[in-house]
Amino acid sequence: MLTARGVRCFYDADEQIELWGKYLSEELPAIYAEQVAAVVVFISAEYAARDWTRLERRAALNRAVRERREYVLPARFDDTPLPGLLSDMVAVDLQTRTPQQFAAMIADKLARLTNTASAPSSGAGDPAPDVEPAPSARAVRVGEADPRRLGVHAAISVPGVPDEVPPEYVLRDGDAAEHGVRARVAVAAQRGGFVLFIGGSSVGKTRTAVEAVKELLPDWWLVHPAGPEEVAALAVALPRRMVMWLDELQRYLGGKQGLTGGVVRVLLNGPHPVVIIGTMWPDWYTAYTTVPAPGGADPFAREREVLDLAAVIRIGPEFSPAEQDRARAAALRDPRLRVALKAAGYGLTQTLAAAPQLAACWEDAQTASPYAWAMLTAALDAARLGARAPLSAEFLRTAVPDYCTSQQQAEAPEDWFEQALTYATRKLHGAAAALSPAGADMGEVAGYTVADYLIQHASRERRAARVPASTWDALLRHIHDPVDTARLARSAESQLLYRYAIPLYRHAADIGNGFAAGQLAELLARRGDLEEAEQIVLALADADSSAAVWLDALLGALQDLADADNGTAAKSLDELLDALRAQADVRNRMTARPLATLLANRGEEELRARADARDRMAARRLAELLADRGDADNWHVATQLAGLLAGRGDLQWLRARAGAGDEAAAEGLAELLAHRGDLDGLRARADAGDWHAAGLLAGLLAKRGDLEGLLARINVGESWATIHLTELLKRQGRGEEAKRLYRFGLNPDSSIASA
């Protein structure tokens, strides 16, 4: 362990070849009195009885007396007296420390001794070259790291087992596989690498990662950064042999200061290997890595760049037969494993983390403690909408009313909030609470966080549930975290709740979120606030060419108003055309689509010129114009229509390929399901994140006149359903309602807003 830390050691049993033929009576005094920085004496009855140890000890003690400093460092296995050692000399008790802890103590002591020996009178000095300095004041050796502080859930309590002792680890099949967990970590340790564990809450992904690094890298430094700023600072320092622990990686992503691919590359390409360990839920990973529709806004481009650098390991909730056998064997030694193996309906790791008790706590509260159920459900709704920072007591109090019946509101006792909070924050089975306080300072509660397993559970159970107005109002009033406000704004917009999306986007835009600014401009334009919308988008286009994608959305709103003889909108269209031409002239591909759309509305001549110059978006729009006229012989039309001739293929094969990540197969599968009118199949694909299937599903629902079905899809955030709902209302002769929907969105109860 000391050698791994860069400390050179002498131990006679390891030096047999070097000592071969030499006289120990001459060699040992020279080594122990002249050639080493310090001597660690391991005191035991066996050590005291050996002959040569007296010679070693005498030489070391003579030097200690001569130099009047800590040179002999005693460590005791037992209380055996040792001649020459004074009774008041401090010794380390080895019975209370692990080998890893004692190795760390030796390394730290050597660093201090070297500093003292080489420093001027001021006490300043550099650490010993053979002892690695800690990369951060909060760094610990991997072998000494507390799994709970790294994100491993507390385990259920059983009589006779200390709560601080983790359950015995059950080896997973992927741990020792050829390209499994420990193989990936070992490769990362050799040349630097980023290993990302993907799995649901309480499936054991963090424990698996902890066991891997403790097994392979016990003497490396481990740093658990507080946020992305600390990650960036460590990238500048480029420390040696460091494990960077990014549990719940999504907390380091997003926002203006979020982790970037550039910072990760600096860490991985440094002069010394750095191992980055991250964990993430599958829902977050899918949301970040899903490529947006062609030409659409891409809010997660930066996050996707970070995730593309990781080697992904997926941890499932179910144990294989071999893993179950190992768990049963371990259960003979661990009572908590015995309890967990008897539970039905949950995985072993989830039971150990009190997942069944968490779910029951929330569900039973609806009758046992309705105000606690209302509080927990409001917190869960806020979390699934995107609030990740601790929720204040004021938020919880404000959000509750709409989850209670009129009678419950009228009969609420004066201390209803305190009773609800007591129920929600009680520890379950000694492991976890549904709602846990988060501290701002000693004895000061900043807010409350929901158990992550419960968020995952409620996200499934309440996926189609409408979040009431009291929660949205509380979010607007009490949530100020910049990353959370941007996420909440996206959720509000996807559900057509523009009255909440606009102020939330405005808050995020005011602190520099470009995506939020673009979305804000689109919503403002829809409401007729053209001047502010145009200023926002043109400023974005000037500052960042990729942000000009929002010109397309603004263009659509302006064109609708100009068609209605709105003079202000017509003037704004002329100004936008000039801006788009300027961007296109410098090859800004993100402005190609809005420019092509605007030119198509103004005639064919300039559009054809740009198509002839191989502007793909111009060619596409020209193709649509010519197809509408029946001119299908034009090469532009032929190029565009060729994409529609993909074979339908075999359904089973398409499902298999789509499941393996083949985007072309996924699109073909969605087309085939739509052709067959398979609403359930499309709905399953859409729920799994297939945007093409979502669009086709919305189209089929609209074709069938299914307003409720479209509202249900809007409620889960699908923009395609919004488009088709608007068109369906128009077809049904409800044009005024369609206009109101387009401009103002929906109320929390799914009725169409009017302002």
Strand (E) positions, 170-304? 193-198, 221-223, 242-246, 274-280
- What is the Cα–Cα distance from 313 to 308, expressed in whole angstroms? 13
Joined tokens for residue 168:
């015995």
- The closest alpha carbon to 486, from 305, 299, 289, 307, belongs to 299
CA dist 436 and 427 (Å) reads: 9
Distance CA 272, CA 355 (A): 40
Under 8 Å between Cβ of 172 and 323: yes
- Angle CA(502)–CA(506)–CA(508) in degrees, nearest 5? 120
CA 485 → CA 130, 221, 511, 614, distances in Å?
A: 48, 35, 11, 41
Rounded-to-integer distance, Cα 524 and Cα 540, Å: 15
- Please state at what angle helix 498-510 crosses helix 514-527, rounded to 10 degrees: 140
Query: Which residues are CB-contacts of 247 (< 8 A; sequence separation ≥ 6)?
Result: 150, 151, 206, 224, 277, 278, 279
Q: CA 68, CA 64: separation in Å to the nearest integer?
A: 6
Residues 6+ apart with CB under 8 A from 379: 391, 396, 399, 424, 435, 448, 450
Pick the CATH number of 140-323 from 3.40.50, 3.30.310, 3.30.450, 1.10.3470: 3.40.50
Distances (CA, A) of 388 to 244, 248, 252, 481: 22, 11, 12, 9
Cα–Cα distance measured from residue 634 to residue 623, given in angstroms and rounded to the nearest whole number? 8
Angle at 222 between CA 152 and CA 440, to 5 degrees: 60
- Rounded to two decimals, the pTM is 0.57
Residue 221 three-state SS: strand
Helix (H) or strand (E) holding 73: strand 72-76
E strand or H helix that includes residue 140: strand 140-141
pLDDT at 637: 41
Residues in contact with 82: Cβ distance below 8 Å, sequence separation at least 6, in sequence order: 41, 43, 47, 48, 57, 74
SS3 278: strand
| 18 CB-near residues (< 8 Å, 6+ apart) | none
**What is the rounded distance in angstroms from the CA atom of residue 599 to the CA atom of residue 61?**
92
CA dist list (Å): 605 to 587, 602, 625: 20, 9, 12
Contact partners, residue 141, CB within 8 Å, separation at least 6: 100, 104, 218, 219, 220, 221, 222
Q: What are the residue ranges in the chain where pLDDT is below 50?
A: 117-130, 545-548, 586-590, 632-649
Across the chain, what does the average pLDDT equal? Answer: 79
Contacts of 437 (CB under 8 A, 6+ apart): 425, 445, 447, 448
Question: Distance of alpha carbon 171 from its chain centroid, rounded?
Answer: 25
Closest CA to 381 of 436, 463, 445, 495: 463
Report how far apart, in Å, the C-alpha atoms of 288 and of each of 28, 250, 291, 464, 548 are: 63, 9, 8, 22, 21
Residue 27: CB atoms within 10 A of its CB come to 15
CA neighbours closer than 13 Å in the CB half-sphere of residue 730? 10
**pLDDT value at residue 635:** 41
With both helix axes pointing from N to C terminus, report the angle between 719-731 and 707-715 in degrees, rounded to the nearest 10.
Answer: 160
